[in-house]
């Protein structure tokens, strides 16, 4: 029935496991090294400081300033976090503390569907709903001139996209808080909201920060949806209603022209390297928050 005997099969399976494991374990390092070698050409000629803080982006004449893209990315990320962080926190508290178990049974599929919708579809929805809303209603109402394609539109779409991600972590965190802690506070005469404010939130704080950090890293690297609604103008945005440009959008928009100028290619790989570094950094820091949280 089998080609090999038991021992041989064990050896085959074991080797297969080890090879796969090594491949996976070295993946982040491989990515880092690969992208670093591609961006060496650029890093050789320009200092890191110049690349990050120079404002002029003219690849054809050899000027590679990433500042507008970094600023755009930071704006979009921070504003989207400002929108989705309170919503996620309030919802997580509500569904874990106030509602019955059945409500989570409705909430979980809803979160799963939100998480499953592809980013292109989010982008399309942004173009269909958010962009016209900003250009036709919000802009005129606040008396600003805007095309709709703006930092704000990107932030809003992005904030919806990261809700399922943050919310899932937050719900897990609030579920993991021991019941006794709550009961102790309630038995001392605290109301439900006082218990939440003084006991639950304090206990969950490292976890909450970690959840927001993971969300932030996720938002920073999101590409297609942001690319579709952010406007893609290389300029420092002055207000939320201005169009902007983000690092991932820069890479995605220029993949076709990459090869014609070697330094351009290198610059885009440097942008990818920056994204990788930011993502690894945030995830590392937040991981230690979670580890600390688990020790309590």
Partner 1 sequence: MTRGQKIEEKFFKALMILATYFILAILAIIIYSIFEKGLRSISWEMLTQVPQGGYYYGKGGGILNAILGSLALAAGATLLAFIIGLPVALYINVFLIRHKKVINVIRFLLDLVWGIPSIVYGAFGFSLMIFFGLQTSLLAGILTVTLFVLPIMIRSMDEILRTVPIGLQEAAYSLGSNKSEIAFKVFTRQSISGIITAVLLSFGRAIGDAAAVLFTAGYTDHMPNGLLEPVATLPLSIFFQLSSPVPEVQNRAYASALVLTLIILIVSLFSRGLGKRYHKTKINF
Taking Cα atoms as reference points, which of 106, 109, 90 lies closest to residue 98?
90
Taking Cα atoms as reference points, which of 215, 231, 238 lies closest to residue 126?
231
Closer by beta carbon to partner 1, 55 or else 291: 291
Residue of 43, 52, 233, 279 that binds partner 1 (CB under 8 A): 279
Cα separation of 115 and 161, whole Å? 7
β-sheet bridge partners, residue 63: 58
Q: Is 176 in the site for partner 1 (CB under 8 A)?
A: no
Shortest distance (Å) from residue 239 CB to partner 1: 25
Shortest distance (Å) from residue 247 CB to partner 1: 9
Q: Is 181 in the site for partner 1 (CB under 8 A)?
A: no
Neighbours of 198 (CB within 10 A): 12
Closer by beta carbon to partner 1, 27 or else 184: 27
Site for partner 1 in 135-164 (CB under 8 A): 160, 163
Residue of 65, 68, 72, 123 that binds partner 1 (CB under 8 A): 123
Cα separation of 229 and 155, whole Å? 9
β-sheet bridge partners, residue 64: 57
Q: Is 194 in the site for partner 1 (CB under 8 A)?
A: yes
Shortest distance (Å) from residue 231 CB to partner 1: 13
Cα separation of 45 and 83, whole Å? 40
Cα torsion 200, 206, 212, 217 to 10°: value is -160
Residue of 4, 20, 175, 202 that binds partner 1 (CB under 8 A): 20
Closer by beta carbon to partner 1, 109 or else 178: 109
């Amino acid at each position: 029935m089998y080609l090999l005997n038991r021992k041989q099969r064990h050896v085959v399976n074991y080797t297969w496991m080890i090879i796969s494991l090594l491949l996976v374990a070295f993946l982040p390092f491989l990515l880092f090294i690969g992208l670093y070698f591609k961006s060496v050409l650029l890093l050789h000629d320009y200092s890191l400081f110049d690349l990050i803080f120079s404002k002029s982006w003219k690849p054809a004449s050899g000027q590679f300033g990433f500042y507008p893209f970094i600023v755009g990315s930071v704006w979009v990320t921070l504003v989207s976090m400002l929108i989705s962080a309170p919503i996620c926190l309030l919802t997580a508290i509500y569904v874990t503390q106030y509602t019955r178990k059945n409500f989570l049974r409705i909430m979980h599929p809803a979160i799963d569907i939100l998480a499953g919708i592809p980013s292109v579809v989010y982008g399309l929805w942004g173009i269909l709903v958010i962009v016209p809303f900003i250009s036709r209603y919000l802009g005129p109402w606040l008396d600003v001139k805007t095309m709709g394609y703006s930092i704000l539109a990107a932030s809003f779409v992005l904030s919806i996209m990261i809700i399922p991600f943050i919310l899932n972590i937050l719900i897990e965190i609030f579920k993991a808080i021991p019941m006794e802690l709550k009961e102790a506070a309630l038995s001392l005469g605290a109301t439900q909201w006082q218990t939440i404010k003084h006991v639950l939130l304090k206990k969950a704080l490292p976890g909450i920060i970690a959840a927001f950090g993971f969300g932030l890293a996720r938002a920073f690297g999101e590409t297609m949806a942001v690319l579709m609604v952010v406007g893609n103008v290389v300029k420092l945005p002055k207000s939320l209603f201005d169009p902007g440009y983000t690092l991932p959008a820069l890479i995605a928009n220029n993949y076709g022209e990459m090869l014609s100028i070697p330094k351009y290619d290198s610059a885009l790989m440097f942008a990818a390297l920056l994204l990788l570094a930011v993502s690894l950094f945030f995830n590392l820091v937040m991981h230690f928050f979670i580890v600390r949280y688990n020790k309590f």
